Amino acid sequence: MNKTLRIARHEFVMTAANKAFVVITLLGPFIILALSVLPGLLAMNRAGAAESVVALVGGDEAARSALDAALIGAHGSLAEAKDEASARAAVAEGSLDAAIVLGSDWTESASILLYARTGTDVVLYATLERALGEVARAARAKASGVSPELVARLLQTPRLELRRVGGDAESGGEPSEGGEGDRYLGILLAVIAFVMLLYMTVLLYGQLIGRSVLQEKTSKTVEIMLSSVSSRELMAGKILGPGLAGLIQYGFWVVMALAGSSLLGPKLGSSLTSSVITLPNLGWLVVFFICAYFLYASLYAALGAGAEDEQHLSQLAWPMLIFLMLPLMLINFFVMSPDSTVSIVLSFFPLTSPIVMFIRVMVSPPAWWELVICVAILVASIAGAAVLAAKVFRVGILMTGKKRKLGEILRWAAVK
Amino acid sequence: MLEARNLRKAYGDVVAVDGLSFVALPGEIFGLIGPNGAGKTTSIRMAMNIIAPDSGEILVGGHRLTEADKAKVGYLPEERGLYRKAKVEDMLLYLASLKGMAETAARKSIGLWLERFGLGEWKARKIDELSKGMAQKVQFIGTVLHDPELVLFDEPFSGLDPLSQDALLAAMLELRARGATVLFSTHIMEHAEKICEKILLVDKGREVVAGGLAEVKSRYGRNAVQIEFDGDAAFVSGLGFVEGATAYPRWIEVELKPGADPDDLFRAVAGRLRVRRFEVVAPSLHKIFIRLVGGGSGEAENE
């Protein structure tokens, strides 16, 4: 066993024989799911949110009963209000969530006045609008002497029936269960969960590497290490060890995801996520984790060697982290337009490609040669980053006593 | 064998090492001595290939230190450091494995060394829990447990109690007996005096004096007398044939002027002090050091 592997083994044990590692391995997927999917679900379903109380001022019996029915369905209730001023005051002080003011001939007017305090509960407002809209349409039809049933039939929008075809995501051309809205939501939530997983692990492991290299410096062990091994072996070992721990973690998660979706999927009835949690997708998740890990770990190793303390390290790392966070911030855009120019360019740029290309794989599978080029660029970048990091590492690991600027640290790569 | 040829290294405007040459042979303990900032650590780091010399070279067994050589070299850096969360035995096993030792052999050797330094019961404790002195002994063990052919100790004794210092000295003598080349740096002359065959005294990066310890002593040997006494010996430094005197509470080291006879001193003090011991000695390395390096390094006086 050569020295690099011995260091890697030691670093692996240091990483894996750690309570935090075990907890994250076991609970990681649930934590990620909770962090990424639950807020979305809560906003959509309104379950768990406080009851919305809406008051109606004026209006007729038809409007009142339509609103009442709509609010019961939307986890809310209709309250009484004497007049517009008192309703408005109640909304302002918070005892009402919203108040609707209807005039005597409101069904003919183009707009309806709604008082609300936050103005952000768009799901509730849409529900109210839909309910009143139906009443108004029916009233207008009646006034014009047209049968309301005819109006309803005329205004009926044909529903889109989504069938995904082509690529890994082929669902056999069968109409998916649930509406297309559910379907988009399902894909989006699964993609967000996966992307969060990728992002969090790369970030956590990158920081782990940076800190462990920095620790080698601050604990003064580096000279002892260098009396036994070369700086290249030391850096390689320190990157490989935790990387192996990360792979084991991913292996566990992949097995859990497959088991979970095949066991729980049918029970839950809907196939919300089953078209995303597939073996090829999970395979790509691992591939992109490995690529992103080695790329960011190499860069973090170089920065760790150049840093003076943890605070300095995070200062040095932020320009790099922007690239890691960018895909996360644009995730909605990538999911909705995976074939746009921006998506395609960022799916090849090495610092963003692991996440962006992975989103494309899940949503709109790219051609095989695109994947080959993407991985080739990543491998080449990793090789380049490793060479650069090894040079910076060699110089930086012995430098102490001064907080250096990023530019100065990067120039160490040129030291012969 | 460790050989330096006209070694030079500057940090910016400060010349840390300025043209040093020396040879340390197998079966020999070589003392690199000098005040703080003399260039000792820089020289040792250049030997370990941790930093590169600006000019000149430092060779291990006739060539620049290679990765393959590292298994046969032990190095105790001046800046001590171990993984704080690691257990004593695990840490040492890891260091041994990086030197290519098989685990069973390493485990046995670690057990023996820990016993020897009275750390047997600390095997399973974390480095964090050790005192500074204990951690230093653990680090010493890490330096020697793979039975190296060349060992470089940078200030190995600092921060150790006298008993531990003696244990280290004994271990170094053992390494020498096994034919290893041992080099250590110190600014404490008593340690160099106890075990060195050869010394190189450096100051401000330059050689001040070099050679065998006995030879250096005789070269700078002048008449020196140690007197252990009761009474007040202040008058001694005023005597006409006395060059200088270093007074300690209960004894005094007196340097005589060239040609002066120790007998004269004996007669001069006989009536005025209660003499317990009167000994004509070679000057201590400490005195030579102070004389050669001079007042520029006041801290040497305090050691």
Provide, as residue numbers in chain A, all residues whose Cβ is less than 8 Å from the Cβ of B99.
228
Q: Which residues pair with B5 in a beta bridge?
A: B57
DSSP 8-state assignment for residue A396? H
Query: Which tens digit of pLDDT belongs to each residue from B146-192?
Result: 999 999 999 998 888 888 888 999 999 999 999 999 999 988 888 88
Amino acid at A159: R
Interface check A203 vs B, CB under 8 A: no
Q: How many residues appear in chain A?
A: 416
CA distance B78 to chain A (A): 9
B73/A223 touch (CB, cutoff 8 Å), yes or no: no
B98/A221 touch (CB, cutoff 8 Å), yes or no: no
HSE on the CB side for B106, CA within 13 Å?
Answer: 18
| Nearest CB neighbour to B73, from listed A3, A222, A227 | A227
Provide, as residue numbers in chain B, all residues whose Cβ is less than 8 Å from the Cβ of A398.
50-51
Looking at chain A, which residue has its C-alpha nearest residue B76?
A224
CA distance B76 to chain A (A): 7
A227/B94 touch (CB, cutoff 8 Å), yes or no: no
Interface check B54 vs A, CB under 8 A: no
Closest CA to A147 of A137, A157, A161, A159: A137
Query: Which tens digit of pLDDT belongs to each residue from A252-294?
Result: 888 887 777 676 655 554 444 556 677 888 889 899 999 999 9
Listed by number, the residues of chain A in 390-409 with a beta carbon closer than 8 Å to a beta carbon of chain B are: 398
Label residues A141-178 b or e (16+ Cβ within 10 Å = b): beeeeeeeeebeeeeeeeeeeeebeeeebeeeeeebee
Distance CA B87, CA B89 (A): 6
| Nearest CB neighbour to A224, from listed B67, B71, B77 | B77
CA distance B208 to chain A (A): 28
Please report the pLDDT score of residue B300 as a whole number: 38
Distance CA B169, CA B192 (A): 10
Distance CA B9, CA B50 (A): 13
Provide, as residue numbers in chain B, all residues whose Cβ is less than 8 Å from the Cβ of A224.
75, 77, 81-82, 95, 139, 142
Substitution target from B73, B80, B94, B141 for chain A, most A beta carbons within 10 A: B94
Give the 3-state secondary structure of residue B102: coil
Distance CA A46, CA A123 (A): 9
| Nearest CB neighbour to A221, from listed B71, B81, B99 | B81
Looking at chain A, which residue has its C-alpha nearest residue B146?
A228
Judge whether A239 and A297 are in contact, CB under 8 Å: yes
Would the pLDDT of A388 be above 80? yes
Please report the pLDDT score of residue A274 as a whole number: 54
Kindly indicate the confidence band of residue A172, based on its pLDDT and cuts at 50, 70 and 90. Answer: very low
Residue B219 token pair: 């070269």
DSSP string, A151-210: HHHHHPPPPP-----SSTT--TTPPPSS-HHHHHHHHHHHHHHHHHHHHHHHHHHHHHHH
Residues of chain B with pLDDT under 50: 296-303
Q: Where are the beta strands (DSSP E) in A60-153?
A: 76-80, 98-102, 113-116
HSE on the CB side for A399, CA within 13 Å?
Answer: 20
As a whole number of Å, the end-to-end CA separation of chain A is: 30
DSSP string, B28-69: EEEEEE-STTSSHHHHHHHHTTSS--SEEEEEETTB---TGG
A220/B80 touch (CB, cutoff 8 Å), yes or no: yes
Interface check A220 vs B, CB under 8 A: yes
Please report the pLDDT score of residue A164 as a whole number: 63
Would the pLDDT of A354 be above 90? yes
Judge whether B88 and B127 are in contact, CB under 8 Å: yes
A223/B50 touch (CB, cutoff 8 Å), yes or no: yes
Closest CA to B208 of B45, B40, B48, B66: B40
As a whole number of Å, the end-to-end CA separation of chain B is: 31
Please report the pLDDT score of residue A268 as a whole number: 52
Please report the pLDDT score of residue A171 as a whole number: 44
Distance CA A135, CA A139 (A): 6
| Nearest CB neighbour to A228, from listed B51, B82, B98 | B98
- Our measurement of the distance from residue B184's CA atom to the centroid of its chain's CA atoms, rounded to an integer in Å, reads 5
Kindly indicate the confidence band of residue A177, based on its pLDDT and cuts at 50, 70 and 90. Answer: very low
Interface check A157 vs B, CB under 8 A: no
Residue B158 — φ and ψ, nearest 5°?
A: -65, 135
Please report the pLDDT score of residue A78 as a whole number: 86
- Our measurement of the distance from residue B83's CA atom to the centroid of its chain's CA atoms, rounded to an integer in Å, reads 26
Please report the pLDDT score of residue A18 as a whole number: 83
Provide, as residue numbers in chain B, all residues whose Cβ is less than 8 Å from the Cβ of A221.
81-83
Please report the pLDDT score of residue B208 as a whole number: 87
Looking at chain A, which residue has its C-alpha nearest residue B85?
A14
Query: Which tens digit of pLDDT belongs to each residue from A88-146?
Result: 888 888 888 889 888 878 888 888 889 988 778 887 888 888 888 888 888 888 888 88
- Beta carbons within 10 angstroms of residue B162's beta carbon: 8
Structural element, H or E, at residue B74: strand B73-76
DSSP string, B160-215: --HHHHHHHHHHHHHHHHTT-EEEEEES-HHHHHHH-SEEEEEETTEEEEEEEHHH
Q: What angle do CA A174, A177, A179 make, to 5 degrees?
A: 110
Interface check A322 vs B, CB under 8 A: no
Substitution target from B72, B98, B155 for chain A, most A beta carbons within 10 A: B98
Kindly indicate the confidence band of residue A169, based on its pLDDT and cuts at 50, 70 and 90. Answer: very low
Distance CA B154, CA B148 (A): 16
Query: Which tens digit of pLDDT belongs to each residue from A308-326?
Result: 889 999 999 999 999 999 9
Would the pLDDT of A174 be above 50? no
Looking at chain B, which residue has its C-alpha nearest residue A399?
B51
The mean-pLDDT minimum among A2-6, A48-52, B109-113 falls in: A48-52
B75/A220 touch (CB, cutoff 8 Å), yes or no: no
